[in-house]
Structure 1
Amino acid sequence: MELRHLRYFIAVAEHESVRLAAKRVNITQPAISRQIQYLEEELGVSLFDRGPRGLRLTAAGTLYLAEARKVLALLDAAGRSARLVAAGQEGQLRIGFVENAGWDGLVPELFSRFQREAPGVRVELAPLNTPAQLEELADGRLDGGFVYLFGPAPAGLHVRPLLEHDVVLAVPCAWNLPADAPVHARDLAGRPFVTFPRHTYPAYYDRLIGACQQAGLTLNVVQEVSTEAAILSLVSAGIGAAIVNSANRGRPPALARFIELADLSIPLPLAFACLDATHNPALDRFLRVIDSAS
């Protein structure tokens, strides 16, 4: 049995006429009559009563018509879904992002724009630091990720530079430091600091420590935690100050303040990374959204 047999049968059943059905499906009357006969022989039942007034569905034909329509509807739906997936309009994406980059600005704008353009794509967001994203990208567990890269990208990754953040000083409100004047790093000597362990992101940790030393500040680290959200929680609790990504301004803690550093800058280049060889049309569409926004 072929799909065309179902289409011919449905046409004849709906028109109750071989002549009209043949015209609809654009084949000759003898040809469509033969195909209906082949179908009945294969099924082993009569689908039509043939009388002087034309064709009428038998009980078996009535049931078969309903089921044939379901089959064709499912196939049509499958075809539409396949075309939407191929166009990046349906499917699934798993995108990583460094959490503080998602508070405001470009990253949430890109997610919002993509959802407007491809509402049929299910986007799963994974808040991960940069090294964890790079690991999951290499393993194929992420389709792409918003990362802060220091140095060359790992082999096999395609990187689209987006923008650059910097660092800012976060202090407890209880310290009563003036918020409208930049602070020199050397003036923070001896004050307690909260930072992250080196193994969390060695390249960034080394750059942070080096920049502090160059500015005349040796950090008096009293506690280490793995995320900037946790760091800012400890700053809010008065445990110490911290040097954090300026993107955190998009989510200012109630009990901490951000102050500019007069003589300490660490450019933080935000980029979107994905594998060089992509096989997900939804990712290709996401990349087009990124390109149109840059």
Structure 2
Amino acid sequence: MELRHLRYFIAVAESRSVRAASEQLHVTQPAISRQIQDLEEAIGATLFERTPRGLKLTSAGMAYLAEARDILARVDAANRLAHRIASGVQGRLRVGFVENASWSGLVSSALHAFQQTASDVALELQPMNTPEQLDAIAAERLDGGFCYRFGALPDGFASLPLLEQGVVLAVPEHSATGREGPVDARDLVDVPFIAFPRHVYAAYYDRLISACAQRGLTLDIRQEASTETAILSLVAAGVGAALVNAANRERPPARVRFVDVRDLSVRLPLEFCHLAQHGNAALQRFIDLLAANKNA
């Protein structure tokens, strides 16, 4: 049995005429009659009574008509759903992000635009640091993520470069450091620092420590915290200073000041990372949107 059997049956049942169904479907009358006979043989029941006034549904035929309509409606709905998913306007998209990357600019604009243009895609946003995101993407727990990348990507990955951030010095509001404006790295030799443990993101940690050392600064790390949010809360409490992503300027914590370090430059390249081979049309739609916004 094929779907055309159901379509022919419904057309005949609704018009009560093979001739009318033939005109409606643009199929010859003998072909329709043959398909109806095949259908009746397949299910082992007579669906129509042949009367002088035309065809009349039997009780079995009336019951079969309701089910046939439901089957075709569900097939049509399945077809529409598959088309929408294949077009990237329906489905699920799981995206990781480093929190400070999403506070303004390209990332927040892209997320907003995607929700406006693909409102039927279930967008799941998960805050994670970069190594956690890369692990989750590799394990297919995430479809992609906004990562600050250092070094080569794992095999099988691809990325879209978006923008570059830098670092800035965060100090307690009452601190004398930077009160008169930008400072040099050597001015921070005796300043107590808060940093994250090296195991959180070894590549970035090593890059930061090396850049400081090149400017004659060995960080006096008194406290460690695993996220910049926690680090900045310790700065606000007066525990020490910290070198943090300059994106934090967009959302400055209370009791924290940001100070430029004139001679210290650490590039923080933000990229959208994902598996090179994927079958998620919603992900591809999001990547295309990011690329368009980036070049706008």
Shorter-chain TM-score bucket reads: over 0.9
Q: Report how many residues are paired.
A: 294
- Residue matched to 1:255: 255
Which stretches in structure 1 are left out of the alignment for 5+ residues?
Answer: none
TM-fit CA distance, 1:257: 1.8
- Residue matched to 1:103: 103
- Residue matched to 1:163: 163
Structure 2 counterpart of 1:262, which letter? R
* Structure 2 residue 210 is the aligned partner of structure 1 residue 210: yes
Post-superposition Cα deviations, 1:129-157, rounded to whole Å, max 9, x if no partner, equal 11122222223322222111123333322
Q: Which region of structure 1 is more displaced relative to structure 2, 37-46 or 94-103?
A: 37-46
- Counterparts of 1:29-40 in structure 2 under 5 Å? 29-40=29-40
- Residue matched to 2:220: 220
Q: Residues of 2 paired with 1:202 and 1:42: CA distance?
A: 68
- Counterparts of 1:159-198 in structure 2 under 5 Å? 159-175=159-175, 177=177, 181-198=181-198
Post-superposition Cα deviations, 1:69-100, rounded to whole Å, max 9, x if no partner, equal 11001111111111222222222222221111
User: What SS class does the counterpart of residue 125 from structure 2 fall into?
Assistant: strand
Distance change (3 Å), C-alpha of 1:179 and 1:107:
farther
After superposition, the CA RMSD in angstroms is 1.7
Which stretches in structure 2 are left out of the alignment for 5+ residues?
Answer: none
Q: Which region of structure 1 is more displaced relative to structure 2, 110-119 or 261-270?
A: 110-119
Q: Residues of 2 paired with 1:85 and 1:106: CA distance?
A: 25
Q: Residues of 2 paired with 1:162 and 1:48: CA distance?
A: 66
Q: Residues of 2 paired with 1:13 and 1:96: CA distance?
A: 54
- Identity across the alignment (%): 59
* Structure 2 residue 125 is the aligned partner of structure 1 residue 125: yes
* Structure 2 residue 266 is the aligned partner of structure 1 residue 266: yes
- Residue matched to 1:19: 19
- Residue matched to 1:93: 93
- Counterparts of 1:60-79 in structure 2 under 5 Å? 60-79=60-79
Q: Residues of 1 paired with 2:155 and 2:2: CA distance?
A: 49
User: What SS class does the counterpart of residue 174 from structure 1 fall into?
Assistant: coil
User: What SS class does the counterpart of residue 204 from structure 1 fall into?
Assistant: helix
Q: Residues of 1 paired with 2:180 and 2:286: CA distance?
A: 40
Kept in 2: contact 1:179–1:257 (CA 8 A): no
Kept in 2: contact 1:180–1:259 (CA 8 A): no
Structure 1 counterpart of 2:90, which letter? E
What TM-score do you get using the length of structure 2 for normalisation?
Answer: 0.93
Q: Residues of 1 paired with 2:206 and 2:224: CA distance?
A: 15
Kept in 2: contact 1:149–1:269 (CA 8 A): yes
Q: Which region of structure 1 is more displaced relative to structure 2, 38-47 or 104-113?
A: 38-47
Post-superposition Cα deviations, 1:43-68, rounded to whole Å, max 9, x if no partner, equal 23332232221222223222211111
* Structure 2 residue 43 is the aligned partner of structure 1 residue 81: no
What TM-score do you get using the length of structure 1 for normalisation?
Answer: 0.94
Distance change (3 Å), C-alpha of 1:62 and 1:177:
same
User: What SS class does the counterpart of residue 174 from structure 2 fall into?
Assistant: helix
- Residue matched to 1:136: 136
Structure 1 counterpart of 2:47, which letter? L
- Residue matched to 2:233: 233
Q: Residues of 1 paired with 2:169 and 2:247: CA distance?
A: 12
